[in-house]
Amino acid sequence: MKFVVTGGTGFVGRYIVEELSKEYQVVVPTRNIPKAEQLYGNNKNVKIIYFQEDLDHTVRKYEPDIIINLLGILYENRKKGITFEKVHFEYTKKLVDAASDIGVKLFIQMSALGADPSSKSRYQRTKGVAEEYIRSSQINYIIHRPSIIMGKEQKLFSDMKKFGKFMPLFLAPEGKVQPVHILDVRDCFLKSLNERNEIFELCGSKIVSFKELFEFALKYVGYSRPVIQMPNIFFKIMLPFFKIMPEPPMTEDQYYMLQKDNVCSGKYRGVRELLGKIRDPFKF
C-alpha cells in the first residue's frame, strides 16, 4: 500500500511518516529537502519529492492508495503568497479532486477544533470550508480535529524559551484548552485507516486554562516567570500595537479564536474510542 503524506516533515507529520514507513511506501512532498533528508534520508520506504503547487499532478503521478493531508499554517506570509485560503482550502481541493479522479481508497484530513465555515477566524473558517469540500466529494474520508498537540516539538515551547530570556512575566488570555499527546494523535491517524466517513475530535483527559498551559510550558523550558491571566478585551485593545511587532504575541485571527474554548464538544468519537485509553498530554 502506498501513501502520499503532505506536511510530512512537520511536527505531526514526522511521527506519522516514521510509523507508516515501517510497513508501507510513503511519498513526502516538501519544499525543505534538506530537512526531509535529515529525517528520512536513510529510510528506503520514504520517497522525498519537491513540493509542487499542482498537488493534483503529484497525486496522479504517484497514484497512492491513501492520502494524508497535514498541511496547515498558524501565520500567513502574504508577501510569499502563503495564506490560510491557499494552504487550508486550495491545496486540499487539489488533493481531493485528484483523489476522486484516480479512486483513492481513503483521504485523511488534519483539521482543527473550532473548524467552522462561519467563524470570524480565517484559520478556523478555511479549515471548515475544506472540511465541507471533503465531505461533499465522493471519496471516503476521515477528518481529525485535534486541540493543541503536546510534544517536545510544540512551537509553544520554543516561543517560551525565546521570550523567557527577557520577559519578566507573561500575560495569558481567558479560555480553556484540552491538550492532546502527540503520540495519541499519531496513533489515532493510524487507527483510523480502518474507518470511513467520520469526524474525530482529538483531546486529552485534562481541560486547562491558558494560564496553566503557559505555566507548564515555562517550567518545561526551564524558566520561572509569573503568568497573569488578563481579560480578552485587553488583548483586543493591544492588537494595533502587536501588529507593528516583528513577532506579534497575538494576531487578530488568533484573538477571534479565543471566542470559544478549544475543547472537545462530545459530539464525535475521539481518542478513547479509537485507542481505548488516553495518554497524559503533559508527560512526553
Domain count for the chain, please give it: 1
Asked, for residue 127, whether it belongs to a domain, the answer is yes
The CA distance from 217 to 179, in Å, is 12
Mean pLDDT by 10 residues, the chain (284 residues): 98 98 98 98 97 96 98 94 97 98 98 98 98 97 98 97 95 98 98 98 98 98 97 98 92 97 98 98 96
- The distance of Cα 260 from the centroid of its chain, to the nearest Å, equals 18
Name 4's bridge partners.
27, 67
CATH number at residue 26: 3.40.50.720
3-class secondary structure, 6: strand
Asked, for residue 266, whether it belongs to a domain, the answer is no
pLDDT at 136: 98
> Does the pTM of the predicted model rise above 0.85?
yes
**CB 60, CB 102: distance < 8 Å:** yes
What are the DSSP calls for 73-130, one per residue? Answer: -SS-BGGGTB-HIIIIIIHHHHHHHHHHHHT-SEEEEE--TT--TT-SSHHHHHHHHH
Taking every pair of C-alpha atoms in the chain, what is the biggest distance, in angstroms? 56
pLDDT at 246: 87
DSSP one-letter code for 63: -
pLDDT at 144: 99
What residues contact residue 26 under an 8 Å CB cut-off, 6+ apart?
Answer: 2, 3, 4, 5, 8, 17, 20, 45, 46, 47
Residue range of the domain that includes 26: 2-146
DSSP one-letter code for 12: H
Asked, for residue 27, whether it belongs to a domain, the answer is yes
pLDDT at 31: 96
Asked, for residue 194, whether it belongs to a domain, the answer is no
